[in-house]
Amino acid sequence: MRGLRKYLTPFAPDQSGAVSVLFELGGIVVVCDAGGCTGNICGFDEPRWSEERSAIFSAGLRDMDAILGRDDKLVEELADVARKIDANFAAIVGTPVPSVIGTDYRALRRMSERRAGLPTITMDTTGMELYDVGASKAYVALFDRFANEGLPIEPGRVRVLGANPLDLDCVPPKEWSLSFEDVVRASAAEKNLVVAPSGLRAAKLLERRFGTPYEVANPLAAQDAAEIAMSYDVRGKRVLVVQQQVAANAMRDVFLSHDATSVTCATWFMMLPELAQSGDVQLHEEDDFEQLVYEGEFDVLVGDPTLWRIVPQFSGVTVDKPQFPVSGKLLPQGATQGTAPFASVSSRRNDAS
């Protein structure tokens, strides 16, 4: 049944993706919600939140605020915070409530800028799309608004787009993190590296505006795949990889280089046509995954371990590769440095026996 989840909890929503991108940029981030969405974002989808102080606020909407459309109250409260906290910018992140009442984000942005005196971006996230949609909106809004024109190119300066905990399944390596200065000085980059589909729209925007070339690749996922291939022989195997699209593609290349017979990539998230190969699969429902696995004749499944509950009859090998926006489980500490085991391989056939 469309929309029904019997095994999986809902995936990270667009508002979490937006905040994930904005988190370290030194802005005042206002989640336009009643409180619960902010709790979900911070308490579940943002692993950095419990370690670092960040200016994330809930609008604390109440029923009459929504019914009467009290945007002016929100703006006043934002202006009050802007007087008390020195920030680079303000960002207003949408949730289901403003989506239902039809909040005019452009008007909200203008009002906020006038009243708070802070450059403001808005993201019309709804809580009904997935994280990568929100992350993509945040990247585009940031570069569109804050990237300064015409800085001289700095040789060797590579900007990484799509490097956030939801896309990488871990806290990004420091050299991949995006700072506000990186955004402002975007035109100085020699190249942009897109490690997840969420970064592609921004990369195209920067190419259009500044002529900055971009490359789509995910070295971390490739490294993960190489480690899997070292511990498990994929030669002659038909492999299904379920990850975000750029990571899945990187893993595919590695497995094929280790003589896998075929590698099919599937994703619950963005499936961009320009990055897809024939036979790749866009997943929406649990039933889609069940059908894909049972009809696909795969030998090996690589993906978040919570997926295996959907296909208890699968008799091949499962390789656990936690996907943070799926299960909320981060890769183990150290995984980004490639120093710790991150994936466990188990044979369903052996388990059954």
Report the residue from 47, 49, 283, 348 that binds another protein according to the rule CB under 8 A: 49
Report the residue number, 153 or 217, with the smaller CB distance to another protein.
153
* The CA-based dihedral angle spanning residues 284, 285, 287, 292, taken in that order and rounded to the nearest 10 degrees: 20
Report the residue number, 42 or 203, with the smaller CB distance to another protein.
42
Alpha-carbon distance of 330 to 253, in angstroms, equals 24
- Minimum Å gap between C-beta 204 and another protein is 21
- Minimum Å gap between C-beta 150 and another protein is 10
Report the residue from 177, 262, 291, 327 that binds another protein according to the rule CB under 8 A: 327
Which residue type sits at 157? R
Report the residue number, 73 or 238, with the smaller CB distance to another protein.
73
- Minimum Å gap between C-beta 160 and another protein is 17
User: Which parts of 61-120 interact with another protein (CB under 8 A)?
Assistant: 61-63, 66-67, 77-78, 80-88, 95-97, 99-101, 113-120
Report the residue from 253, 328, 330, 347 that binds another protein according to the rule CB under 8 A: 328
Report the residue from 20, 54, 212, 244 that binds another protein according to the rule CB under 8 A: 54
Q: Is 287 exposed, middle or buried (0-12, 13-18, 19+ CB in 10 A)?
A: middle
Report the residue number, 15 or 223, with the smaller CB distance to another protein.
15
Total residue count of the chain as it appears in this document: 353
CB atoms within 10 A of CB 288: 15
User: Which parts of 144-203 interact with another protein (CB under 8 A)?
Assistant: 146, 148, 179-181, 183-184
Report the residue number, 166 or 302, with the smaller CB distance to another protein.
166
Report the residue number, 237 or 321, with the smaller CB distance to another protein.
321
**Which among 249, 255, 209 is positioned nearest to 228, based on CA atoms?**
255
User: Which parts of 14-33 interact with another protein (CB under 8 A)?
Assistant: 14-16, 26, 30-31, 33
User: Which parts of 246-275 interact with another protein (CB under 8 A)?
Assistant: none
Q: What are phi and psi of 92, to 5 degrees?
A: -110, 125
- Alpha carbon 261 to its chain's center: 30
- Minimum Å gap between C-beta 110 and another protein is 9
Q: Are 331 and 297 in contact (CB under 8 A)?
A: no
> What is the edge-to-edge ordering of all strands in the sheet holding 214-216?
158-161, 191-194, 214-216
- Minimum Å gap between C-beta 42 and another protein is 5
Report the residue number, 240 or 311, with the smaller CB distance to another protein.
311
Interior angle at CA 242, CA 166 and CA 268, nearest 5: 65
Size of the site for another protein (CB under 8 A): 82
- Minimum Å gap between C-beta 207 and another protein is 21
Residue 47, interface with another protein (CB under 8 A)? no
Alpha-carbon distance of 159 to 343, in angstroms, equals 28
- Minimum Å gap between C-beta 147 and another protein is 8
3-state secondary structure 126-168: CCCCEHHHHHHHHHHHHHHHHCCCCCCCCCCCEEEECCCHHHH
Report the residue from 42, 202, 234, 248 that binds another protein according to the rule CB under 8 A: 42
Which residue type sits at 72? D
